[in-house]
Amino acid sequence: MSAKRAKKEAQETQTFVSWNVNGLRAVAKKGFEDIFRDFDADIFAVQETKLQEGQNPLELSTHHDYWSYAERKGYSGTAVFSKREPLQVVHGMSDERFDVEGRVTALEFEDFWFVCVYTPNSQDELKRIDYRCAFEDCLRAFLSELAADKSVVMCGDLNVAHEPIDLARPAANVGNAGFSDEERGKMDELLEAGFLDSFRVKYPDREGCYSWWSYRQKARERNVGWRIDYFIVSEDLRDRVVEARIHDEVFGSDHCPISLTLAI
């Protein structure tokens, strides 16, 4: 390979977008297709689609689409839209406890795995914390297995603010769903297993950056939010992170989209 070609390939990037849409049919009525086209992402992943097979309200001819549905109607679900056709698509983690909720869609490409995840909410008083922690353990093992083969890019609503910097009011939320010791500890375990929070790779100390806001008390207007949506990458991609952004200017859901640009 010539030096010129090698330099060109080294400079090529791909952009990925992730968004918890909190109901794809609802956000489709709020300009989703226009937002999708404006991003022009190589891969666009969504969580909480709340759809069953055959209910896709979108016409996105530029991308291939892959769906994981929950058995329960109007609940959970993930989908990935990709300009390139993957080598294979995996729905779930081969564990029926979690796969019935459509929480994982994984696409294999020549150079990396792309995984879209919607982590279970622990609910009020941590009613579902045991299920949540079991999901986290299964996910970590799943991602580690993929990472043993090739690089991994994982995104989604992980339903946890990892550190106090990741939510507006940490002191008031200690022990609550999304900021409990158990959930934060599981994120610690994931990162210790050889994965990186790409946003903190780029912006380790940046404050006031959130991806979810309650609909109550004008929380979004006041930026009283939480950063619970992530792009997690395997350690070997650390130096490939070109940009990581939170697009809080985009409306349509109680979450906003996030994006990652990689030299990959």
Tell me which residues are annotated as active site: 118, 157
In angstroms, the CA 251 to CA 256 distance is 6
What sections of the chain are H helices per DSSP?
A: 3-11, 24-28, 32-39, 96-99, 129-147, 170-173, 181-192, 198-202
Compute the Cα dihedral for 131, 136, 141, 142 and give only its sign.
positive
| Helix axis angle, 129-147 to 181-192, nearest 10° | 10
How is residue 14 written in tokens? 């791909």
Cβ atoms within 10 Å of 60's Cβ, excluding its own = 14
